[in-house]
Structure 1
Amino acid sequence: MLTLLHTSPVHVPVFDALRDREHPGLEMRHVVHEELLALARSGGPGAADAATAAVLAEVVGEGGATAVLCTCSSIGAAAEAYAARLGVPVLRVDRPMAAAAVAAAPERDTVRIAVVATVDSTFGPTCDLIREEAERAGRPADIRTVLAEGAWKHFEDGDQDGYLDVVARVVDTIIGVDVVVLAQSSMADAAARVVRSHIAVPVLSSPAPGLRAAAAAVPLIPVSPGP
């Protein structure tokens, strides 16, 4: 069974809809731990690592997960790093997006990528991930970070439309890059609201490619032959 580790309940219907549309029949369980993001935001890099490891151990040990997808960019690196100790695949939702961002950039010496986020704690892990994927592809990366000022307040207030509108407006101001990355799963639907009439570049989000990779990582359970 695939278990999704979230730091906000708003992600649950997003991934349920993706499962129904792209992976019908995939057995999926949601676990929400909002305190992990709070730790990452208040304590800086590494502050949530121990708590994330404890949650993962419980998800696999007591919850019976055979694969885990971490949907929070701020704790994704810690979750991924703990996989070897758990003995099951643990994926971060944004790795496929990061690889796609590097691949989508035109063939030139340097990949120019803008990372848009609504909380500062996301920038470090996301930029490190993109650099890792760029190095793997043999391409240097020029990464620009762009904070969607004021968007997070809308998110905390439950105003998803306001949240997405702020993100989309910020994306529309970005120029001089090859790819725009929406760093948090909660931002995914902002891509459809982007006008970008002045420049046509890909605007990438993580939920769909992340769930695709996780679904592929779920071990197949052999079917016993009938009598």
Structure 2
Amino acid sequence: MNKQAVAALDLGIVIVSYNVQALLRRCLQSIYDSIGDVSFAVCVVDNNSPDDSAAMVKAQFPQVHLIANADNPGYSTANNQGIHWLNSAFDAPPRYILLLNPDTEVMPNTFCDSVRYMEQNLKVGIMGPKLLLPDGHLDLACRRSFPSPMVSFYRMTGLSKLFPDSKKFGRYNMTYLDEDQLTEVDSVVGAFMLVRQAAIRQVGLLDEQFWMYGEDLDWAKRIKDHGWKVIYNPRILTLH
């Protein structure tokens, strides 16, 4: 493959899609409606969607690099395919990798604000934004503690819902904190997970033993274990 002779991109965006053509179209349109001077490339990895998602990307977003899988290898593997392409397609890898779900829509200033924050906070390895659900409420998964046995117990028994303001019972989704408070957390969610390339070089890619779910927590744990911070940043908004 001939490498594209461009200066190092600010941002490499990976979107894994499966059978969500309309949502994927809106997600991609929101990306290309972005403002600011952030340079980026987008790689969509389609896991053999039966709804012609791949054909839509080819026809409507020719600037997107499409990887059309012949089967569904899982979320982690597909994300790694996209990261591999982004890291090898240009003269230098993008400075940041963004895992983005196809059911998200970014704000016009999301990318420039995100990159600016990472540039100003060099110890941050992962950053996630405030994710808002269609009803306007916070997507609780966007800031999490690692699921220790007790944290998992409080969540599975419903104690976390009964006592969301309790630092003890509400620990998994950190519901005891103001949702507009910038906070160091254990993990953000893979729906929007901005990762510093230097951290990826240290810990490697997503663990493909996680077919779907849990891979973001595992990645965050490995990155934190190497001394990087994981930050929930509510000053940046994304719809989910």
Superposition TM-score, scaled by structure 2 size: 0.31
Higher relative contact order, chain-length normalized (CA < 8 Å, sep 6+): 2
Q: Which structure carries more helix by proportion?
A: 1
